[in-house]
A and B are shown apart, each in its own frame.
Chain A
């Protein structure tokens, strides 16, 4: 491992494998991982029943089904934290990917209606075909997400139509789909529809080891796949034409990346429901922490997304006594101000550019 300087004067770590990583990015990633760990510890020890750090550690050490605290630690809090980390990372990664590919700094799987497409497909399966086994759900979600993606491409056309119009089209599709899911909820018994409403708003509340087990394979395959495919994202950031002239096989790689991104979103939606704005926020925050591009930006986005969801989930828990606030609502409340700041910064950059 050698620390050296790149052409632009930045310090770079050169591994023997030939992998180049900027020192600043490494530091930022390390800091974020520490912050996630700290947030997880806080999340594990606070809540309706506070648990001291020592007791929590002891319970973790002893394993599940051991004593009074093991229910709170092992069955409630730990699955939620793990789910938050994985789902947050996945959605943030998808957002960062979509932003690079579409050259639109505001792209987000939630705003574009992809998450809602998955949600509607899940609702159709849930309400109309209740006997369907659990394992099929992510596939149904994938179908819904891909259908919305195809619909958007069909509606917007292949040309560069202007990012705002794509977003508005996504919002339109989302509005119609979410009212369709609301209609479907009518046909379920009241106790089911309450849980469904929670899920539709996006909630970590019902995360369990079962739902973790369903989501983990998708996360474990999807995130590395996108990170690998994101090898040449630096060239995507500069636009289709530059990427092509740098030797990217866009007609081949772009659809694969898009499908993988939708796959990851769909699996996340079938685990916790749609979380809008996370995909917009996380890459911008990552960029703010360490201005970078390419794969480093993707990795930082994953870490920021995980941190955001774990923190948002903590916020929702102590909300009003025993009532959990849906995580989706908390993220919208955090995310909209962030989104507006993003729009403002973008406008300022545009003005400076002119």
Chain B
């Protein structure tokens, strides 16, 4: 298994570069690869193709890379810590909580746009903590399969997005500014928010990478990690907080987009293994590639319509979710073991 580690990371790196170039080249007007590359290395302000690449497609691509990396790493850490194959930022209430707080902040407290990131992070914590609270209240700690955690997360996400939608409905004049963001859209105009918040995510990934070894030990077994001298609760709480902050900063940029955080760790794990030292970079790369490809599909397949990336992700996210439920919870072996 671990023999595949470096080839897998090299392979995902290749996929990311290919997806990035495809993303910059395809669109309403097809721009050939040579102009794409020259636009990146020797930008010429008079060339219209260069303008499109640099000011419309590159911002989108960078947002997609940021989103993919944050969500995939967040999903990997959450799946490891909760030991639940269905855990992901989208299902544990972080995305919808962040969305709710951004909407409440903007519509009710009239927060200026600079505060959107703060609101998103507060909302991410609120969403995740309320999910844990409801799960504990409903006796999840007794459920060995951890399904109540996922169920309460799914149900709370419905509640938060309904409340956010109701708030948006109530003020039609400002609704259109947020509507496309709230349904999970990667849009080049959001690049200003990327400029505001990118450091939060990068810092978060840095902290997770520093914690990679103890974090791996904790996800492999709490008792073993403690006997190896790891402060289990400290590692758990710091990494959860870092995940919430980096995921929420991604939500602040392009809205609640699920699926990447759920599926990427499932693809990475068999290739790279459980060690976060290698799994985190692989997740970041593959998550970025998935988001780039989803964005490309959303823009080109339904042309001239441009689909919201969040809708595209939900379509495949639901299917993957069903496959994972089937594989982990409904296969005969698991059913016997859980009785």
Q: Which residues of A contact B (CB under 8 A)?
A: 155-157, 159, 161-162, 164-165, 167-169, 171-180, 182-183, 186-187, 201, 276, 319-320, 323, 325-326, 329-330, 332-333, 336-337, 339-340, 343-344, 346-347, 350-351
- Bound: A220/B177 CA distance, A: 45
Instruction: Check B147 against A186 for contact (C-beta < 8 Å).
Output: no
Number of A-B contacts (CB under 8 A): 131
Instruction: Check A168 against B311 for contact (C-beta < 8 Å).
Output: no
B 308-323 to A, binary, CB cutoff 8 A, 1 in contact else 0:
1001101111110110
Instruction: Check B318 against A173 for contact (C-beta < 8 Å).
Output: yes
Instruction: Check B325 against A179 for contact (C-beta < 8 Å).
Output: no
B151 cross-chain contacts in A, Cβ below 8 A: 164, 167-168, 343
Q: A332-B158, A332-B162, A340-B155 are in contact. Are A182 and B311 (CB under 8 A)?
A: yes
Q: Does B108 count as interface, using CB distance less than 8 angstroms?
A: no
Tell me the smallest distance from the CB of A328 to a CB of chain B, in Å. Answer: 8
Instruction: Check A157 against B330 for contact (C-beta < 8 Å).
Output: yes
B308 cross-chain contacts in A, Cβ below 8 A: 182
Give the interface segment out of B64-72, B134-142, B234-242. B134-142
- Bound: A207/B98 CA distance, A: 35
Instruction: Check B335 against A161 for contact (C-beta < 8 Å).
Output: yes
Tell me the smallest distance from the CB of B247 to a CB of chain A, in Å. Answer: 19
Instruction: Check B321 against A323 for contact (C-beta < 8 Å).
Output: no
**26 A/B residue pairs, CB under 8 Å, sorted by A:** A164-B148, A165-B330, A168-B321, A168-B325, A169-B330, A171-B321, A173-B322, A175-B314, A176-B314, A176-B319, A176-B322, A179-B318, A183-B307, A183-B311, A186-B302, A319-B170, A320-B169, A320-B170, A333-B166, A336-B156, A336-B158, A336-B162, A343-B151, A346-B138, A350-B142, A351-B142
- Bound: A325/B171 CA distance, A: 11
A351 cross-chain contacts in B, Cβ below 8 A: 139, 142
Instruction: Check B148 against A329 for contact (C-beta < 8 Å).
Output: no
A155 cross-chain contacts in B, Cβ below 8 A: 322, 326, 330
Instruction: Check A177 against B318 for contact (C-beta < 8 Å).
Output: yes
Query: Please, which residue of chain B has its CB at the minimum distance from the CB of A175?
Result: B318
- Secondary structure class of chain B's binding surface, majority of residues: helix
B156 cross-chain contacts in A, Cβ below 8 A: 336
B 58-98 to A, binary, CB cutoff 8 A, 1 in contact else 0:
00000000000000000000000000001000000000000
- Bound: A333/B165 CA distance, A: 11
Instruction: Check A323 against B170 for contact (C-beta < 8 Å).
Output: yes
- Bound: A183/B318 CA distance, A: 15
- Bound: A320/B172 CA distance, A: 10
Tell me the smallest distance from the CB of A159 to a CB of chain B, in Å. Answer: 7
Instruction: Check B172 against A323 for contact (C-beta < 8 Å).
Output: yes
Instruction: Check A162 against B329 for contact (C-beta < 8 Å).
Output: yes
- Bound: A326/B161 CA distance, A: 13
Instruction: Check B318 against A174 for contact (C-beta < 8 Å).
Output: yes
Query: Please, which residue of chain B has its CB at the minimum distance from the CB of A333?
Result: B162
Give the bracket for the number of chain B residues in contact with chain A: 35 or more
Tell me the smallest distance from the CB of B325 to a CB of chain A, in Å. Answer: 5
Instruction: Check A172 against B325 for contact (C-beta < 8 Å).
Output: yes
- 10 A-B pairs closest in CB distance: A176-B318, A347-B139, A175-B318, A320-B170, A172-B321, A164-B147, A179-B314, A336-B159, A343-B138, A172-B322
Q: Which of B138, B166, B326 contacts A347 (CB 8 A)?
A: B138
- Bound: A178/B308 CA distance, A: 13
Tell me the smallest distance from the CB of A330 to a CB of chain B, in Å. Answer: 8
- Bound: A319/B134 CA distance, A: 28
Q: Does B154 count as interface, using CB distance less than 8 angstroms?
A: yes
Instruction: Check A333 against B314 for contact (C-beta < 8 Å).
Output: no
Q: Does B185 count as interface, using CB distance less than 8 angstroms?
A: no
Instruction: Check B150 against A168 for contact (C-beta < 8 Å).
Output: yes
Instruction: Check A183 against B159 for contact (C-beta < 8 Å).
Output: no
- Bound: A246/B279 CA distance, A: 56
Query: Please, which residue of chain A has its CB at the minimum distance from the CB of B298?
Result: A183
- Bound: A179/B138 CA distance, A: 30
Tell me the smallest distance from the CB of A232 to a CB of chain B, in Å. Answer: 29
Tell me the smallest distance from the CB of B136 to a CB of chain A, in Å. Answer: 10
Q: Which of B145, B163, B315 contacts A176 (CB 8 A)?
A: B315
A157 cross-chain contacts in B, Cβ below 8 A: 330
B316 cross-chain contacts in A, Cβ below 8 A: 176
Instruction: Check A340 against B147 for contact (C-beta < 8 Å).
Output: no
A173 cross-chain contacts in B, Cβ below 8 A: 318, 322
Q: Which of B165, B305, B311 contacts A329 (CB 8 A)?
A: B165
Q: Does B187 count as interface, using CB distance less than 8 angstroms?
A: no
Instruction: Check B322 against A350 for contact (C-beta < 8 Å).
Output: no
Q: In the complex, given contacts A155-B322, A336-B162, what are 6 additional A-B residue pairs having Cβ atoms less than 8 angstroms apart?
A: A179-B315, A201-B165, A319-B170, A323-B169, A325-B169, A343-B148
Instruction: Check B166 against A344 for contact (C-beta < 8 Å).
Output: no
Q: Does B219 count as interface, using CB distance less than 8 angstroms?
A: no
B162 cross-chain contacts in A, Cβ below 8 A: 329, 332-333, 336
A168 cross-chain contacts in B, Cβ below 8 A: 86, 147, 150-151, 154, 321, 325, 329
Q: Does B116 count as interface, using CB distance less than 8 angstroms?
A: no
Instruction: Check A169 against B315 for contact (C-beta < 8 Å).
Output: no
Query: Please, which residue of chain A has its CB at the minimum distance from the CB of B326?
Result: A155
Instruction: Check A165 against B154 for contact (C-beta < 8 Å).
Output: no
Q: Does B23 count as interface, using CB distance less than 8 angstroms?
A: no
Q: A161-B330, A187-B305, A333-B159 are in contact. Are A172 and B166 (CB under 8 A)?
A: no
